[in-house]
Amino acid sequence: MYLKSSYEIRDKYLRKDMLPTIFCPGCGIGAVLQYTLRAIDDLGLNQDEVVWVSGIGCSSRVPGYVNFDGLHTTHGRALAFATGIKMANPDLKVIAFMGDGDAAAIGGNHLIHAIRRNLDITVILINNFTYGMTGGQVAPTTPKGLRGTTAPYGSFENPFDIAELAVVAGANYVARWSVFNYLQGINSIKKALQKEGFTLVEFLSPCPISFGRRNKLKTAPELIKWYQKLSVPINKAKEMSPEELEGKVIIGEFIDRDRPSLVKEYEAYKKRAKTAMGWEE
């Protein structure tokens, strides 16, 4: 794969008057933003035909930095706004850039039902295992036993597996990578953007400040090593026992299928209704 220089991507797609970003040193959000922009560039998508939507959180600042139309909405409600955009103008490509707290906690019901409906959008989900912007509280994704400000002795709750949740709820394409799998990440975003229906690409993203320093992972290099130990490629995981997978996070492509999308189903429904009413031309 040929990779353009980061400067070329920055100059073409970022709003320079909004820089620098608010992201902390070692944060992975900037890397995922770059992967998404590279995927858009490789696919040759028109900037006027792509809309970015976000809720609240560190990653939700992203639509403000990119030179596209976008909405920075309320906490957990990105997918509600994305639904309105897509159904009002199905020709638009809608990207929801979300954090794990925004998507799986406050917006959890929106996430489940957007997937169930097979809404034609692509979710880029930053999973840093914490509420980074508000001080490091444990999130629904925090691994059991790891610490946050609201669990100083370690979380005792079972975490959500967002990728698996998306698969069983009916998404057409689901993949999960760490931010260090950059080629796989770019290719998955490209694949997600080209499919109809609900697509989700989750990234395990380092947060040294709010998550790492409370779990003896204070620097980006320490987190890189931890992610290498934590993550297991999906093909290797198929050969491992449940006991061997305990405490691990599986990465790779989870599902790639073509269920009818919400837009397609809605257009068919309108046609049936017009025929029934005698309004069909």
The model's confidence at residue 3, banded by pLDDT at 50, 70 and 90, is confident
CB 101 within 8 A of CB 155: no
pLDDT value at 281 more than 70: no
Q: Kindly list the domain boundaries of the chain, sorted by start residue.
A: 7-277
Residue 61 tokens read as 């600042």
C-alpha closest to that of 122 among 165, 93, 102, 80: 93
Cα separation of 268 and 261, whole Å?
11
pLDDT at residue 1, rounded to an integer: 67
Percent of the chain, pLDDT > 70? Answer: 99
* 26-58 confidence digits (pLDDT tens): 999 999 999 999 999 999 999 999 999 999 999
Cα separation of 128 and 57, whole Å?
11
In Å, the largest CA–CA distance within the chain is 68
**Class of 7-277 per CATH?**
alpha beta
Percent of the chain, pLDDT > 90? Answer: 91
CB 82 within 8 A of CB 119: yes
CB 22 within 8 A of CB 64: no
* 133-184 confidence digits (pLDDT tens): 888 999 999 999 999 999 999 999 999 999 999 999 999 999 999 999 999 9
pLDDT at residue 280, rounded to an integer: 73
